[in-house]
């Protein structure tokens, strides 16, 4: 029972860290705010994360990576074209942005931009997160007939374009940059898949 309660507290802290990073950035997220947001006992943060904020941030990045990875895998149905997959994923992201009034961004890009030159631990966590999206998209494109080097290149470009579009959408307070990215990527992916087959 104690182990379950401890795991629940740890999970709430990570969840709160993730949400607060999305809203306020990594630097703008204080540990006291995380504890308060999580409704956790004051001493619980250093009990569960004795290495402090970087360890908690690393876990939050991992959670964000897993959630986006789930969105990708759930969207990549065998019957769906690569273009349909990209449109669905971006539609979900655009909905998240508009529903939050453009206050929620991608926590992985936020942490990368803020901490990439300051923390090897967080930089590695962000690199792993991006790779966890590029690798399955690469395999999906290979399964749809793309040669592996071209599939890897296309998957890297696709993830990069979506990340950039998220940032521009937040700046402009409009989902239009994401919609443009969706149409461009969908056309590119479906045309390249047809050419490969």
- Cα–Cα distance, 149 to 155 (Å, whole number): 10
pLDDT tens for 127-141 read 999 999 999 999 989
The C-alpha angle with vertex 162 and arms to 160 and 167, in degrees rounded to 5, equals: 95
pLDDT tens for 1-24 read 445 877 899 999 999 999 999 999
Place of tokens 């470009």: 157
What's the pLDDT at 1?
40
Distances (CA, A) of 79 to 41, 144, 152: 48, 11, 21
Question: Which of 19-33, 70-84, 92-106 has the lowest average pLDDT?
Answer: 70-84
What average pLDDT score do residues 157-183 get? 96
Question: Which of 14-23, 74-83, 90-99 has the lowest average pLDDT?
Answer: 74-83
What average pLDDT score do residues 135-155 get? 92
Q: What is the DSSP letter of 175?
A: S
Mean of all residue pLDDT scores within the chain: 91
Q: Around 194, how many Cα atoms within 13 Å sit in the side-chain half-sphere?
A: 7
pLDDT tens for 39-61 read 998 888 889 999 999 999 999 99
What average pLDDT score do residues 67-75 get? 91
What domain count does the chain have?
Answer: 1
Whole-model pTM? 0.89
Place of tokens 């149409």: 183
CATH number for the domain spanning 153: value is 1.10.357.10
What is the token pair recorded at 143?
A: 């399964």
Domain containing residue 128: 2-196
């Amino acid at each position: 029972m104690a182990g379950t309660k401890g795991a629940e507290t740890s999970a709430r802290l990570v969840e709160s860290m993730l949400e607060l990073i999305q809203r306020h950035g990594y630097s703008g997220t204080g540990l006291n705010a995380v504890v308060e947001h999580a409704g956790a006992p004051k001493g619980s943060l250093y009990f569960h994360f004795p290495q402090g904020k970087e360890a908690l941030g690393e876990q939050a990045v991992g959670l964000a990576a897993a959630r986006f990875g789930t969105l990708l895998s759930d969207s990549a149905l065998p019957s769906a074209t690569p273009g349909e997959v990209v449109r669905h994923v971006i539609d979900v992201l655009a909905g998240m942005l508009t529903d939050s009034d453009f206050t929620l961004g991608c926590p992985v890009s936020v942490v990368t931009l803020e901490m990439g030159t300051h923390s090897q631990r967080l930089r590695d966590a962000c690199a792993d997160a991006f790779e966890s999206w590029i690798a399955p998209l690469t395999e999906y494109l290979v399964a749809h007939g793309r040669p592996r080097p071209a599939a890897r290149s296309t998957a890297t470009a696709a993830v990069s374009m979506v990340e950039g579009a998220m940032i521009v959408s937040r700046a402009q307070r409009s989902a239009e940059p994401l919609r443009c990215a969706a149409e461009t990527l969908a056309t590119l992916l479906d045309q390249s898949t047809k050419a490969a087959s």
